[in-house]
Amino acid sequence: MNERWLAASVALGAVLLAGAACRPADACAAPGNACGGDPVGNWTLVDSCQDPTLPDMATAKRTLRNQPVVTAVQPPPEPASSDWCADLVYGPNGIDFLNLPRNSPKLLGAYLSYQSPDPSHASGSYSAFVTTRDTTSIDLSRSCIERFGYSATCDQFAVAFATFGTTLGGVKETSCKDDGNGGCLCRYTVEADAAGANLSGQFAVDGSTITHFASDMLLPSQVDFCVQGTRLTLWGHDRTSIMDLAGARTMSFDKVVCGDGRVDRGEECDPPDGVTCNDACQLIAS
């Protein structure tokens, strides 16, 4: 009996070890210990890690009012190609409407500011400005392009697609080519700047955790943080997204310092020279 129990225990241990060995590495694991510190100041993004399995929760997160439910932080299924085609609407001047799909955007840059009237800097207000960019594509079949009697080659559709892109904020670098079946494979880039109520509000520091209370009244989000010298590192508490940005699990910032020779957001010049640039790195009126 004991030998059987011993054999079963060894077998179970082997299974557990095998499972641990097959566990995928966390590409956005915390880069260090949450040491806390003083986050107050202005910060500019130098590095980030985004988890593609986390959706952009800024608009889908459950709230205290409408309570939309996002199960286990999973994105909804993508619409099928026929759904995108159904969104294509022609008008007298070409394309009037087309709902363009996009992937989770990549962070290009960010500016984060923590300000506090509290001498201990344990609470105050925060705001962020984020720039994202994503290049993706959509393949529209020939039957889709020729809906409602609109007859055009892919080259002609490419002109209409490019013109439509100019009516959308941030859509650029559009191009289309024949997909080999009479349809059009169109690529485009979406670049966007984000700020506002979901990226500003009040914050509170508790040890090495910052809680963000967004002005749009979504449920609070939390980050673990560490300030070392002029570097601020944030990572989403319990593997969540930072301030509900698209999959942003870790973000590292450098402190904006007037006099470092680099003109960062909030500065008009650097370094100060007393002639054209003052001690606050603002231009001196002539």
* Residue 248, helix vs strand vs coil: strand
- Dist. CA 245–CA 265, nearest whole Å: 20
- Decide if 261 contacts 251 (C-beta within 8 A): no
Query: Along the 286 residues of the chain, how does pLDDT read in single tens digits?
Result: 456 555 555 555 555 555 545 556 777 887 778 999 999 999 999 999 988 766 555 444 444 444 444 444 555 555 444 456 778 888 888 888 888 877 778 888 999 999 999 999 999 999 999 998 888 888 888 888 887 677 778 898 899 999 999 888 888 889 999 988 888 999 999 888 887 778 899 999 999 999 999 998 778 889 999 999 999 999 999 888 898 787 889 999 999 988 888 888 778 899 999 899 998 889 998 7
Predicted structure pTM score: 0.71
Closest CA relative to residue 43, chosen from 123, 130, 124, 133: 130
- Dist. CA 98–CA 169, nearest whole Å: 13
- As to burial, measured by CB atoms within 10 angstroms (0-12 exposed, 13-18 middle, 19+ buried), residue 185 is middle
Distance (Å) of CA 13 to CA 4, 21, 24, 265: 14, 12, 19, 54
